[in-house]
Amino acid sequence: MDPLDGTTNFLHGIAHFAVAIALERNGTVVAGLVYNPANDEMFVAERGKGAFLNDRRIRVAARARPADAIVACGLPHYGRGDLALARNEIAAAQRAFAGLRRFGAATLDLAWVAAGRLDAYWERDLSPWDLAAGLLLVREAGGFISDIDGGDAIMQKGNVVAGNETMHRELLRLLQEAGKAAGKEAAEAATSP
């Protein structure tokens, strides 16, 4: 449970924050809810029963061309996270997609992917309560979601990539290439005088 995802947004009067609740049974998330009280939007999903926004069925966007896609991401705060890696990832995404956004509430970003408002999303350094409800929403809305390595250790690793099949695959490829480039840059910097 996350009683207030997007705390900074809330404190600044930005209406992009939410309450997130998920139920995990035997290591599997089986129910999830994300509620934005500012917009009275309630996203809910139950394993095997679909995803809904205010009682209307939702699906991930069907866009197939990255050049038409809007993608959201998280940004590391100065002094936390890998800033060089983030810069490489952002540059790669900016070259490939129509637009890049940073909203500040992971649970809502995932809900927006599930509802087709965003075509894809990635972020690092998240907690399980930031991910659990949104993970199920995306899957139940027909989307693909993984950790940045393409595996299923999302909550253990604290990073996520989500979208429809095409956008998920393309974003994974871009992020992995950006990661290799950042690693190479770091190695070169460490060996230069």
Q: What is the pLDDT of residue 117?
A: 98
Could you list the residue range(s) of the whole structural domain that residue 12 is in? 2-191
Q: Are 70 and 99 in contact (CB under 8 A)?
A: yes
Number of domains the chain contains: 1
Longest Cα–Cα distance of the chain, Å, equals 61
8-state DSSP, 93: H
CA contacts within 13 A on the Cβ side of 155: 15
Q: What is the pLDDT of residue 84?
A: 85
CATH code for position 47: 3.40.190.80
Query: What is the three-class DSSP state of 37?
Result: coil
> In angstroms, how far is CA 101 from the centroid of its own chain?
11
| pLDDT tens per residue across span 28-50 | 999 999 999 999 999 999 999 99
